[in-house]
A = this chain, B = another copy of it.
């Protein structure tokens, strides 16, 4: 594993992405043959780096968690009290992460929902997921300026809906990229996102 960390960035990213892509379907279903083919390395090298499939899996889970947590803390540090503006900033981060690691969200969701099939501790993963998912919402709720919302709108519900909206757009853009193979879709995404966030702003803010 120290050997892997010593490899050059490009190769590391290729291996991580190939592993995340394959592990989306669960630990057992993933084939190391597919991973090495995808990453463009030999079978021997993968096992030279990680020793076992399980070690590779654990490494990638940890990597994904840390990457997303870093994202989470960055978000917190925006210190933006206008929640819609804050979510916009988050989306910028998310675009960057998805650009580099296209399967990371899919992967971490799968790790969570298929926890029983996989080897890692369920409690740990639940906690992780809570941090990446629900806690982010709580955090956003606690920090944001709720007085911006109209009096008859429940800010918590509104924030939830905004997050679901961002997710919906994100997933649709990814679907589009998958079926049409556009690479510049993330720019379109940001443009559309601005409009959707404005719709929310008009509807939910004073």
**Contacts from A to B (Cβ < 8 Å):** 25-26, 29, 113, 126, 150, 152-154, 157-158, 160-161, 163-165, 167-169, 175, 178-179, 195-196, 199-200, 202-204
The chain B residue with its CB closest to the CB of A113 is B178
A168 and B164 within 8 A (CB): yes
The chain B residue with its CB closest to the CB of A205 is B203
What is the copy number of this chain in the assembly? Answer: 2
The chain B residue with its CB closest to the CB of A195 is B157
Contact of A161 among B126, B179, B196 (CB under 8 A): B196
Can you list 24 A-B pairs, Cβ within 8 angstroms, ordered by A?
Answer: A25-B25, A25-B29, A29-B29, A150-B202, A150-B203, A153-B199, A153-B202, A153-B203, A154-B195, A157-B199, A158-B199, A160-B196, A161-B165, A163-B168, A164-B165, A164-B167, A164-B168, A164-B169, A165-B165, A167-B168, A168-B168, A199-B204, A200-B203, A203-B203
